Every structure is written in C-alpha cells, then in structure tokens.
Structure 1
C-alpha cells in the first residue's frame, strides 16, 4: 500500500506542480504562474534529485469582453483582435535537501497579433514578437519529508523574475505614418516578451490524500512587480496610457487528482483555475497602460508516468472572462463619459509538458498495481 501511495504521489506531484501560465489574450498574464518546484519534482523528494522539464502552451484569443459582457459584434464586423501565442519553457530543478528545492526557468515565446485598429482601421495586418521571455530563479520548502509526506504535503516558495525578455519588441504597423505609410513601432503589451521589471514571486502549493488513488491539490501564486512603468510607448490616444505599465499578476489552481489502479502510471484530474492582472499593484505605483482582468476556468487534465518520465496534458476552458476597468478608466471617467476598455480572451488553452526526474539515490522498487 505504501508503494502504491508513493507511485500516485509521484504522478500527482509531477502533474500538479505549477505549470507555466498563459497570457490570456489582450490581458497580459505572462507565461508563468509560480516558481514552485519543477514539473516532476515530487512532493516526496530526496537530497540530490534533479528535475528537468519542458512545457509547451498554445492559445488563440479573439472573443472581446468589456467587463463580463461579450461583444459578439466584433467578430461579425471583422474588427476583432486575434492573438496567437506559442510558448516553451525549459526548467531545471534541484533538491538541496529532502525539503529545500531550487528552480531555474527559461521561457521562450512566439506571438502573432492580427488587428484592424492598429493599422489605420483600413485593412487587417499582423504584428509579431519572438524570443527569450522573463527568466525566473527561485526556491521552495516542503513542510514535511519522508514517510510523513506520503499522505500530503505543503510547500512555500519564493523567487525572483528577471527582466530578460524584450519589453520593447517592435514590428511593422501599416497605414499609420505620413500619407498612410508604414512605421516600426512597439507591439501591443499583450505580445511583448517581458514587462521590464524585477519581480518577486510568492507561492504556496500542496497535495492531500483523501483516500487511496484520490488526492486534492492546490497552487497559489502572486507576482509583485514594484516598477511603475517601463518606458515603452503604446501609441494610444490617451496621454495617461502613453507608456506601458508593469503590472502584478496572480493565479490560483485547485482540484482533484485520481490515479487509475488498473493502468499503471495513468491519472486524471479536474479542477478550477483563476488567473489575472489586478487594477493596482500591491507595491509601487500603478500608472501607465494595462488591461486588468481575470479568467476563471475549469481545468481537466491527463498524466502518464513511465519510469522517471512524466507526460501531462491539461486544457483549461474559460467559464468567466472579465476585463475589469483600469485605473485610467476609473480616474478619467465623467458622468457624461463612462470609460471601460475591452480585451480579447481565448476560449481554451493547450498545455503539454514532459518531466524527467533524475534521482541521486537508487530508485525504489515498486510493487505492481
């Protein structure tokens, strides 16, 4: 029974350690959500363990929301903004002790953005960005270790986000220059590769056994971004939104994981996910342009473990999409001119990851399920 529990914990730990997150279309939720332990790093770890993982994510955003109200006429009128985003993270994790772990995450992204309004409202064109995004370095601490951790565990994590991604990426914009000429300008905030700020990430994650093969999990994450604005021009008409803001970010995941006894290594999950950008930062000023908002999703998933390699697939499907009013919307609204910006969101996200655990110790021999 202990061997069975440990096998399930390995699969669950690999599956539920924090996934890289997903910019939700025009709301610039960056491609990470937590420093935590590396994908595949178990909630039962041993000193000297290494964890190597990679995660791929994709989404297409095109549905416009103002608040929680969808504006279907944007699609009907062919005025919607469409973002396509591909991202790949490479992660290296190491267990310094049976409880303390470290992680380096190196993300890359490629984005395309098709719009009408950014190109003189005359014809639809596409802008691009691609390359290294914001690197993260961090560490965490599991409260329990060894046999005490097989029924559940809780970890606290702390990290830093480095401004390695280009936060002034540029592309060609058409029909915006003199006599309708094209110009090279910074791309929209939603497809910038970084935000230009040194950030601090705070996280907690946990796993709890309810009965054999059934576990609960959660991840909670917050990114503190003290920098106010990053100097990148938006080319927006309102002076208060002329420069891009450097916003905070948050995410919360929770749900259930079930290990299939009849198929060794296979597990399914179902949970909920909340992620977003707040109107105001916790630390520092919140000037400049940002699209605050949040997404609530249902998150089904599938994982399969073969030896020390784990493959996971999860597809969060949006239930609630809310483009909240920005600080500039609130400050500049008048009784005769109520301001509330909109944003485009995705219907779903596709996330696939591979994780390889390299134990220092000789692997345990498990009994067959």
Structure 2
C-alpha cells in the first residue's frame, strides 16, 4: 500500500497538464482545463495534509491543418500564424480523508500571436495577452480503500471552472482599414485568457500495479460549457462568426510508468493522449466562432522524487492533428463551395511540474503524572 501511495505521488505531476489545454495551438482549449490528477493529489496525503504544485507549459504552434491535411504552402509562403503560449498553473490540494480530496487551481498565462492576415496582410506583427486565466475548484473520491487498494485505485471527481480570465483581451493591430491605422482590437480566440463561461468538469484518474516496478495509469476529463457565446467580437467578416463561442473541452491520457529500484526516486513514463474541442457542445448551443479539432500525441516523461518534493517533465509529441469542420463552416457551405476553416497546431508541448507535499504536524501528547 505504501508503494502505491508513493507512486501515486510521483505520477501526480504527470497528470497536472491533460491538455490544456487544449490542443496545441489555434484549437483553443485552455491550458490546464481539466483538474486531472491535480485533484487526485489528495489521495497521496494523509487526512489534513496539503500538496502545493506549480506546473509550467510552453508550446509554439505554426503548422496549419484543414481537416487532417497539412497546408505546407503556409510555411513556404511565410503566411503561417505563429502562436507562442506560456502557462503556469498553481495548485493547492487538501486531503479531507483517506479517500476524499479537493483542489483549487489558478492558471497564469502569457501569449504571443504573430500573423500577416490580422495586420493588413502586408507586414507581420504580433498581438499579446497576459494575466489570470479561468480558475477551477474541484473535489473527488477514490473508489477503493485499505486492502482493496493494494494493487491500484480509481478516482472520480467533479469541478467548476469559473470565468475569471479576461475573455475580451485586446492588443494593437496594424494596417487596419483603407487608411492603415493602428487600432486596439480583441485578440484571436486562441490567445484569449478565458472563454467567458462557467463550466462543469467531470474527471477520472487511476493507477494499477502491473509488476513490481511497472504501473498502468490513466486520466481524463470532459468540461461542459453550457453558455453558447460570450459577446466578444472576433473581427471576422461572416455574420455567424462575428462573436466567439464558448466550447466544451476534453482530454484523455493513458500509458505505463516504470520506477527504477537502483536509482531511488527516479521514474519514467510512456503513454498517449488525445485532447481537443468538439464540434457540438453536449449542453447548450454551439453557435458562434470556434475552431473545433483534436490532436493525438505520444507522451514520454521522466520524474524524480526527493523527500517530499517531486519534479516531472513530460513532452507530448503530436502524431495526428485534425481541424474538424465547425458548425459555422457547415452553415456557410454550399453544394458548390464547401467551407472548412484551418487551425495551426504545435509539434510538441513542454510540461514541467514541481510538487511539494506538506506533511501534517503530529500533535504532541503529554501525559500528566
């Protein structure tokens, strides 16, 4: 049981970044949109103990896809959109009991978006956004306890995503209109700090012992965003794409983790993940502008645990990218002209996490004589 608990603590940092976010680029899933095992860290703690973690994520998206086909000409013509996104997620988790846990998660972001088409199509310029993202709070419950959890465990959780991030962030755009003015306008949906909706997160995670040093892990989430649009202008020409949509999001990860007995505290993982934005929301409407799609990646990782501190690095590498046809694409299509928007994706993500477990101080008991 102690070995499972230790491995759960090491693996916790691998689960902190299920996505976001997001798919990697213009498919605008927010980073750290799911609570993942950031929630589940409570299981690695005794009742009343805390876990504090910080998780940094970076990617550069520049490869354009329309459906599953890459548009190689965007690179050769130097017309590609380049998104660079930095995110820091700060998590505080608490164990209410052996099986019940909770977490508060606060994301911070800094984003850059370089393009031609947003700046008059003659010069490349960059727009920016930075600040607090959409905060999340959640709780969960491990299904097994005691002897039943010796070989592994699975947890289910619920969370709420609050619209604390600016969903109408602005930046300077150049060469606007016939007079080539500089105007302050809302930035692209892919680098907005929030989506403007209150979301419900359903999540699960688990770890099972396959051999003395090999474990199977899995986790995933779906975020329901009932709100249809958020009122933020997209600066796009088509009337049905004038306002930003508030889309659902999802992610699923699974793989194996191996601990190394000869190097105490060292572990490595290899798995796969899928994350993205659906075409249609499960609850509420799906109108407004969105770039639906998903990316499938292979995800290697390494971790090291020293005392109560665990550091992890995982680098998902994209294998398959698909910018699916949106609701507005379908609405704007005719038998003679099928509309299918594109999106830029990254080749890989960099996720680095440091987690600190704070043990509960034992109360000293003095027996009176």
Tell me the C-alpha RMSD between the 2 structures. Answer: 1.6
Stretch moving more, 35-44 or 221-230? 35-44
- How far does residue 18 in structure 1 lie from its aligned partner after superposition? 5.3
- How far does residue 184 in structure 1 lie from its aligned partner after superposition? 0.6
> After superposition, what is the alpha-carbon deviation per residue over 1:125-144, rounded to whole angstroms, capped at 9, x for unaligned?
00000000000011011112
Name structure 2 gaps, 5 residues minimum: 363-369
- How far does residue 204 in structure 1 lie from its aligned partner after superposition? 0.7
> After superposition, what is the alpha-carbon deviation per residue over 1:229-283, rounded to whole angstroms, capped at 9, x for unaligned?
0000011111110000000000000000000111000000000000000001000
Name structure 1 gaps, 5 residues minimum: 363-369
Q: Do the aligned residues in 2 keep the contact of 1:20 with 1:55 (CA within 8 Å)?
A: no
1:130 partner SS: strand
- Taking the aligned partners of 1:182 and 1:329, their CA distance within structure 2 comes to 30
Say yes or no: does 1:103 pair with 2:103: yes
> After superposition, what is the alpha-carbon deviation per residue over 1:302-323, rounded to whole angstroms, capped at 9, x for unaligned?
0100001100000000000100
- Taking the aligned partners of 2:262 and 2:96, their CA distance within structure 1 comes to 35
Aligned to 2:21: 22
- How far does residue 3 in structure 1 lie from its aligned partner after superposition? 4.9
Stretch moving more, 136-145 or 311-320? 136-145
Q: Do the aligned residues in 2 keep the contact of 1:81 with 1:113 (CA within 8 Å)?
A: yes
Aligned to 1:287: 287
Q: Do the aligned residues in 1 keep the contact of 2:219 with 2:253 (CA within 8 Å)?
A: yes
- Normalising by structure 2, we get a TM-score of 0.94
C-alpha change, 1:163 and 1:38, in structure 2 (3 Å) is same
- Taking the aligned partners of 1:249 and 1:242, their CA distance within structure 2 comes to 21
Aligned to 1:365: none
Aligned to 1:144: 144
Aligned to 2:200: 200
- Taking the aligned partners of 1:103 and 1:274, their CA distance within structure 2 comes to 24
> After superposition, what is the alpha-carbon deviation per residue over 1:22-78, rounded to whole angstroms, capped at 9, x for unaligned?
342111011114224437826444211201000000000000000010011001001
- How far does residue 113 in structure 1 lie from its aligned partner after superposition? 0.3
1:122 partner SS: coil
How many pairs are equivalent? 361
Q: Do the aligned residues in 2 keep the contact of 1:5 with 1:212 (CA within 8 Å)?
A: no
C-alpha change, 1:39 and 1:269, in structure 2 (3 Å) is farther
- Normalising by structure 1, we get a TM-score of 0.94
- Taking the aligned partners of 1:29 and 1:312, their CA distance within structure 2 comes to 22
Aligned to 2:366: none
- Taking the aligned partners of 2:120 and 2:186, their CA distance within structure 1 comes to 15
